[in-house]
Structure 1
C-alpha cells in the first residue's frame, strides 16, 4: 500500500475511508484479506486510532469490510466497484426520499403551529444534539430523534410511520454521513435553523436548512463512493 500524507482534521474520517476504499478497489487488498492494524493505519495516515475505527465503521456500513473483534478488519466485497455503485444508488435514493418526506411536512408545520407536545419534543431533541456536540459525544441517535421530531411536528401519524419504515436505511446514512457518529458546529447550526423555522412558522428558512442538510449527505456519498 502507498501511504499518503496526513489528512486535515475536518475531514479525517471520510478521507481515510475514501483512501482505504480506493486501495480496495485497486485490489491492493483482495476479498478475505486483512487490512493493516488500527495502530499501523493510525501511524500511516497521521490520525488517531478512534478516527481509523470510525473510518472502518463507514466501510463496514457499506458492506465492504467486516470488522471482527480481536482479529481486525477484513475485505468482504467480491466486486467492490459494483457493490459501491449499488450502495451509492441505494443510499442516495434513501436520502432523496428522506428529504421528500421531511421537507414535505414543513409546509404543514410552518402553516399550522405544532402542538405543545410536538414543540417540546423538537426543543428537547435539539437540546440533546447540542449536548452531544458540546461533549464530542456520539450523536447518531440524537440526530435521528431530532429529524423524527421534525416530521412528527406535522401531527401526521402516517408521516411518522413512513419515516419509521426508513429507520434502518436512514441509520446507515447517518452513520456514514459527514458528521458521522459525532456532529460538528456547522452541522448543528443547520439543525438549529431548521428547528427555528419549524417553531416560528418560517417555511423558507426551514425548507432551505432541510435541503442543505440533505444535499450535504448526497455530496458526501457521491464523493465517497465515486
Structure 2
C-alpha cells in the first residue's frame, strides 16, 4: 500500500502527512481501519515509535480513533481542530525542530499572558491555592527525577482555569496538550544548566506573586516575559542539543 520513506524531513511528520492524505483523499474512508502498526512499520520502513507518534498526531487532529482490541479507525470528516505541530512544520520559514518549538512558544506567550492578566483580576482564594500547589508540584517532580513537563502544563492550566472563561480554559488546555512535545523540549533545554532551571523557577514565582497580588498588568508582563525568556534560552542552545531533540519522548494526548 505504501512505499518506504527516507530523506531529511522528520519521519513522524512525513508518516502523519501521508496517512492524513490517505484520509483526506477518501482512499481511507470513514470506518476503515488503518493498517496495523506492524504493517505500517514494514511498508514504510520506519520504527514503531515513528508510527505511534504519527498515529497520535492523527488522533489529536480528530482524524482517527483507537478502539480497544480492534485497531485504529478513520472518523467521520468534520471541521478539524488546529494541529499546531503540523502548522508549524508547514511554515515556509522553516520546519526544523528549533523553528517549530519557537513558533509554539510565541503562540503560548499571547494566550498565557492574557490568562495571567485575567486570573489576577478574577481568581478566588481556592484558585490561588491551586495555582500555588501546581507551582510546588513542578519542584517536587524535578526533585523526584522527572522532567516536570506534566506539572508545567498543569501549572499554566491552573492559571487559565482561574480566569472563569471556559473558552480560554479550553483553548489553553488544547494548546498545552498539542504542544506537549515543544514544552518537553523546552524543559529539556532548561534542565541542562542550573542557571536556566533557577531562572525558570523565578519566572514562575513572579507570575504567581503577581496573580496573588491582584496586579493584572504585572501578571501579564510576568507571563509574557517568562515565555520570551524561554524562547531566548532555546535560541542560545548549541546545535548539539537540537541534534538530540528527536530522542525526546513524545506523548501527545487527545485535547478533547
- Correspondent of 1:144 among 144, 150, 153: 153
1:75-127 Cα deviation digits (max 9, x unpaired): 11336xxx33xx229999xx999654521327998xxxxx9996674253255
Matches within 5 A, 1:205-224: 205-209=225-229
Q: CA deviation at 1:179?
A: 0.6
Q: Distance in 2 between matches of 1:6 and 1:211?
A: 31
Q: TM-score with structure 2 length normalisation?
A: 0.51
Asked if the contact 2:4/2:44 (under 8 Å) is kept, the reply is yes
Q: How far apart, CA to CA, are the structure 1 residues paired with 2:6 and 2:59?
A: 22
Give the Cα separation in 2 of the matches to 1:33 and 1:78.
Answer: 12
Q: Secondary structure at the match of 1:66?
A: strand
Distance 1:90 1:121, change over 3 A: closer
In 2: Cα distance, 1:168 partner to 1:108 partner: 15
Change (3 A) 1:178 1:208: same
1:1-226 pair list within 5 angstroms: 1-6=1-6, 11-78=10-77, 83-84=79-80, 87-88=81-82, 99-104=109-114, 105=116, 121-125=134-138, 128=141, 131-133=145-147, 139=149, 141-148=150-157, 151=159, 158-159=162-163, 161-162=164-165, 166=168, 169-177=171-179, 179=181, 183-184=184-185, 189=190, 192=197, 194-199=200-205, 203=222, 205-209=225-229
Q: Is the 8 A contact 1:64 1:76 kept in 2?
A: yes
Tell me, what secondary structure is at the counterpart of 1:122? helix
Distance (Å, rounded) in 2 between the aligned partners of 1:88 and 1:101: 15
> For the residues of structure 1 that align with 2:154 and 2:109, how far apart are their CA atoms?
16
- Cα displacement (A) at 1:63: 2.0
Once the two structures are superposed, residues 25-83 of structure 1 have per-residue CA deviations (whole angstroms, 9 ceiling, x without a partner) of 2222122111110111123334332442332233223221121121111111336xxx3
Seen in structure 2, the aligned counterparts of structure 1 residues 126 and 158 have a Cα distance that, compared at 3 Å, is: same
Residue 14 of structure 1, CA deviation = 3.9
Q: Secondary structure at the match of 1:125?
A: helix
Contact 1:195 1:206 in 2 (8 A): no
Number of equivalences: 186
Structure 2 unmatched runs, 5+:
88-103, 121-127, 208-220, 233-256
Change (3 A) 1:63 1:35: same
**Structure 1: which 5+ runs fail to align?**
110-114, 213-226
Change (3 A) 1:14 1:72: same
| CA offset digits 1:118-155 (Å, max 9, x no partner) | 66742532553684449xxxx5x434213236x38xxx
Give the Cα–Cα distance (whole angstroms) in 1 for the partners of residues 202 and 20 of structure 2: 38
1:126–1:146 contact (8 Å) kept in structure 2: no
The two structures, once aligned, show a CA RMSD in angstroms of 4.7
